[in-house]
Structure 1
């Protein structure tokens, strides 16, 4: 929605400025989150590439040296390191997925400050199940009751009052309230 469309709806410049400011906040917030997601996706691709490269190196080494005991031990050591690195990577990915789902849920709940809310949540009871967070809704509902100032209040936007130009009474004046008509009546 742009300024011309809002002006066509009959809004004043002041109302248009307020609408555009509110819309700008929403757009900037959404853009920041989209940038975060893109960064996480690129990290994920980098980690997958690193794991594939390690697996290829280990396979190549094991094919080249099957009889040498020292190299076999080195390969076993590298395989163990690779398993550990894979487990660490999986843990990081799960943590990132959890954090992303939590940020998304907090944004959907119209939280003013997600860092403050995170400090009040019992993270041990919140579990990620697919794309949903179990145990979060109950805690958020409790916080909405006890600390409602942490959440944006939903207000219905006021509709502008449009007044037609000319006589707003529609010409139904009796003449009693018009001083000119009263003076004119004296002389008739």
Structure 2
């Protein structure tokens, strides 16, 4: 819902700002949930790919052993190598996923050239970082990025001054007859913020 529409409902400027802020917070929360679900889905798909490859490689090693194509020692060595490769592939995926999340949190510009440049810098100092025990962050990444902010501030988004809503136009609705998010907030604002200036649409 647009600011003009909220004002037409009889809301004051303060009430409009309150509605837009609440609407923006709702949208931001939903976007966070969507991002989390997409990340979890991608992680599961990668796990499936790694596990499938590991299973196929082990089955091939067993078949080679049964045909006497390899010795027992060679088989044991092959199995160990397969498991180490699977672990390494999974760790690389987790690291890269957490790295991209860290860059997003640090407000690094999202164009390919900028991302490639800053990831190249991080890779040079990769020994200074590691995946946290809970696998939810990269230890040492923030310190590296803070240093890059001083060296190359043009890699990062500029902070906007003042209030910047997630969706400045608000929720326009989907023409399904349901009251939009903005309308609900408008109703709440009318009822609680200023009872003397209630909107004519919510009696």
When normalised by structure 1's length, the TM-score is: 0.54
Query: SS state of the match for residue 71, structure 1?
Result: coil
Larger Cα Rg: Structure 1 or Structure 2? 1
Which of 109, 125, 130 pairs up with 1:127?
130
Question: Is residue 2:47 matched to residue 1:44?
Answer: yes
Residues 134-183 of structure 1, C-alpha deviations (whole Å, 9 max, x = no match): 221111112222322211122123699xxxxxxxxxxxxxxxxxxxxxxx
Compared with structure 1, are the counterparts of its residues 6 and 90 closer, same or farther at alpha carbon in structure 2 (3 Å cutoff)?
A: farther
CA RMSD of aligned residues (A): 4.0
Which of 79, 89, 101 pairs up with 1:82?
79
Structure 1: distance between partners of 2:154 and 2:60: 56
Structure 2: distance between partners of 1:50 and 1:143: 38
Question: Is residue 2:117 matched to residue 1:111?
Answer: no
Compared with structure 1, are the counterparts of its residues 54 and 148 closer, same or farther at alpha carbon in structure 2 (3 Å cutoff)?
A: closer
What stretches of structure 1 move > 6 A for 4+ residues in a row?
56-62
Counterpart in 2 of 1:102?
Answer: 99
Structure 1: distance between partners of 2:70 and 2:63: 15
Bigger relative contact order, structure 1 or 2 (CA pairs below 8 A, ≥6 apart): 2
More deviation, 39-48/147-156: 39-48
Compared with structure 1, are the counterparts of its residues 38 and 6 closer, same or farther at alpha carbon in structure 2 (3 Å cutoff)?
A: farther
Q: Unaligned 5+ residue runs, structure 2? A: 9-26, 169-203
Counterpart in 2 of 1:157?
Answer: 163
Compared with structure 1, are the counterparts of its residues 10 and 58 closer, same or farther at alpha carbon in structure 2 (3 Å cutoff)?
A: same
When normalised by structure 2's length, the TM-score is: 0.51
